[in-house]
C-alpha cells in the first residue's frame, strides 16, 4: 500500500477521517495559508466534511464566537473525531465578525469551525462581511452543494447578517446564498486544518504517523583497510515493523523485511571479507533507509577504502602421492616496479608447520623452483603464498592470475 503526505494531495481530493467510529469523507478545500488575513496557525491542509453531518440551530444570536454551534463543534463533535487525528488538528485563528472584522492574530481561536461566506466564494454581498479569502476549492456554485442523506440541503456559514443581529448567512441546496434567523435549523459541515505531514493511504484514509528513526554512533567512518562493522539501530515510535534497505554508492546491497523496532543491525557488505574485497579503493557512501510502509527515513555514512597490500594463497592445498621436488610459478597482473613483492611456496602444506620457501627470485625470473625441504609428515601437498604491497610511489596495481605447475 502506497502512502503519501497529506500536503501532496490535490485540492478537491477526498480523504477519510473517522468520526464516532465511522469513516467520513472530507474534501481538501485548500493547501497552505489562504492569505495574509489569516494567522500563521492556519497554514496547513484545510478540510471540510463532504456531506452534512447534522442539523442544528445557530445559537441565541448571530455572533459566531458566542454561538451554540461553535461550542458544539469544539466540544461534542471534536471529541467524536478519531483520537489521533483529534490530537493533530491545528489550533487556528480564523477571521470572523465581532464589532467589525477580526483577522490575523486577532482571529477567533478554534479547532473545528464553520466556513465563512467569503471562504466558499461569495463576494460583494450586501451585509456579508469579507471574512478571510476564497479557498481554492470553491470556484463554482456546484462546489458548494452538500447533501443530507440523498438530497441536497442548506448548510450554515459562520458569517452573520450585519444589518441586524437576527440573521446568519447560509448556502442553499443549489449552491447560492441565503440567510435565516439564528433559530432556524440548518445543516452543519465541520471544517478544520490539519498538519501537512500527516499521511494518506491508497483508500484515502488519513493517519498520524511517526517516521522511523535510524541511530548510529558515528557516520564519518574514516579510512578502512579491512572488513569493518558499521552498526546502527532502527526504531519506530508507533511500533511498526520496518523494511530496511542498505545501499553502497547508490546500489542496493541488502534488504531486510519485518524488522522489529529497536533492532541493532550491521551494514552487511563491509563486514565480511568477501564483501569488503568487492569494494574498490576510494571514497564511498553507505545509505540506510528504514520504511514503516507510510514514511521512510534515511541515514548516510562515509568511509574511504585504502587497501595497499594483498596476499593470495590456495584455500585448499594440492595434495599428491609421492614427493614434490620442483615447481614453476607465474604471477600476471600489474605490479609497479617499486612494489614490495614476495613469493613463497611449500611442498608440505598439510603439515602442522609447513616449510615456506622464498621463491621470489625464481618467480620474477620465470625459472624452476627446486624445493629444499624433503619432509612431509602428512603427505606431499603444494601451496603458494603471494604477498605484495605498494612502494614509496603509492602507485596501485593488481594480481590478475597465479598459474604454474609442480612435480
Q: In the chain, where are the structural domains located?
A: 4-207, 213-305, 309-406
Q: What is the pLDDT of residue 22?
A: 96
Give the number of other CB atoms < 10 A from CB of residue 181: 13
Q: What is the pLDDT of residue 213?
A: 97
Q: Is 362 helix (H, G, I), strand (E, B) or coil?
A: helix
Given a contact cutoff of 8 angstroms between Cβ atoms, the answer to whether 222 and 302 are in contact is no
Any idea how long the chain is?
A: 407
Among all chains, which residue has been given the C-alpha cell 477519510? 16
Q: What is the pLDDT of residue 2?
A: 67
User: With a threshold of 0.85, does the pTM exceed it?
Assistant: no
Q: What is the pLDDT of residue 398?
A: 85
Task: Say how far apart CA 170 and CA 167 lie, in whole Å.
Answer: 10
CATH 2.60.40.10 fits 213-305, yes or no: yes
Mean pLDDT, contiguous 10-residue spans, the chain (407 residues): 85 97 97 97 98 97 97 98 96 96 97 98 97 98 97 98 96 98 98 95 91 96 96 94 97 97 96 92 97 93 94 95 96 93 97 97 96 96 96 88 94
Task: Say how far apart CA 172 and CA 268 lie, in whole Å.
Answer: 65
Given a contact cutoff of 8 angstroms between Cβ atoms, the answer to whether 29 and 48 are in contact is yes
Cell numbers of 110, please?
Answer: 478554534
Amino acid at each position: 500500500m502506497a502512502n503519501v503526505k497529506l500536503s501532496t494531495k490535490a485540492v478537491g481530493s477526498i480523504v477519510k477521517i473517522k468520526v464516532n467510529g465511522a469513516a467520513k469523507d472530507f474534501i481538501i478545500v485548500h493547501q497552505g495559508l489562504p492569505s495574509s488575513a489569516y494567522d500563521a496557525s492556519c497554514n496547513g491542509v484545510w478540510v471540510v466534511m463532504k456531506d452534512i453531518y447534522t442539523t442544528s440551530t445557530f445559537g441565541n444570536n448571530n455572533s459566531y464566537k458566542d454561538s451554540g454551534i461553535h461550542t458544539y463543534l469544539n466540544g461534542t463533535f471534536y471529541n467524536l473525531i478519531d483520537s489521533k487525528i483529534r490530537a493533530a488538528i491545528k489550533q487556528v485563528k480564523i477571521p470572523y465578525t465581532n464589532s467589525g472584522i477580526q483577522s490575523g492574530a486577532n482571529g477567533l481561536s478554534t479547532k473545528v469551525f464553520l466556513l465563512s461566506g467569503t471562504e466558499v466564494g461569495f463576494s460583494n454581498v450586501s451585509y456579508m462581511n469579507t471574512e478571510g479569502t476564497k479557498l481554492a476549492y470553491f470556484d463554482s456554485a456546484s462546489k458548494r452543494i452538500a447533501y443530507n442523506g440523498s438530497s441536497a440541503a442548506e448548510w450554515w456559514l459562520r458569517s452573520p447578517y450585519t444589518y441586524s443581529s437576527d440573521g446568519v448567512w447560509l448556502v442553499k441546496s443549489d449552491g447560492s446564498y441565503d440567510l435565516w434567523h439564528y433559530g432556524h435549523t440548518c445543516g452543519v459541515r465541520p471544517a478544520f486544518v490539519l498538519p501537512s505531514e500527516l499521511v494518506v493511504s491508497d483508500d484515502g484514509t488519513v493517519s498520524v504517523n511517526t517516521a522511523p528513526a535510524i541511530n548510529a554512533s558515528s557516520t564519518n567512518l574514516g579510512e578502512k583497510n579491512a572488513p569493518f562493522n558499521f552498526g546502527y539501530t532502527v526504531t519506530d515510535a508507533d511500533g511498526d515493523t520496518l523494511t530496511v534497505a542498505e545501499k553502497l554508492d547508490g546500489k542496493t546491497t541488502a534488504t531486510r523485511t519485518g524488522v522489529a523496532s529497536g533492532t541493532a543491525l550491521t551494514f552487511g557488505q563491509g563486514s565480511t571479507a568477501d564483501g569488503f574485497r568487492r569494494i574498490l579503493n576510494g571514497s564511498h557512501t553507505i545509505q540506510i533507509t528504514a520504511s514503516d510502509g507510510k514514511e521512510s527515513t534515511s541515514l548516510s555514512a562515509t568511509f574511504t577504502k585504502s587497501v595497499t597490500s594483498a596476499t593470495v594463497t590456495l584455500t585448499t592445498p594440492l595434495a599428491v602421492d609421492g614427493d614434490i621436488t620442483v615447481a614453476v610459478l607465474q604471477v600476471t597482473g600489474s605490479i609497479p616496479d617499486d612494489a614490495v613483492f614476495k613469493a613463497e611456496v611449500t611442498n608440505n602444506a598439510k603439515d602442522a608447520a609447513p616449510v615456506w620457501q622464498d621463491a621470489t627470485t625464481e618467480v620474477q625470473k620465470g625459472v624452476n623452483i627446486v624445493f629444499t625441504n624433503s619432509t612431509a609428515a602428512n603427505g606431499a601437498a603444494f601451496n603458494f603464498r603471494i604477498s605484495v604491497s605498494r612502494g614509496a610511489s603509492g602507485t596501485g596495481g593488481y594480481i590478475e592470475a597465479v598459474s604454474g605447475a609442480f612435480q
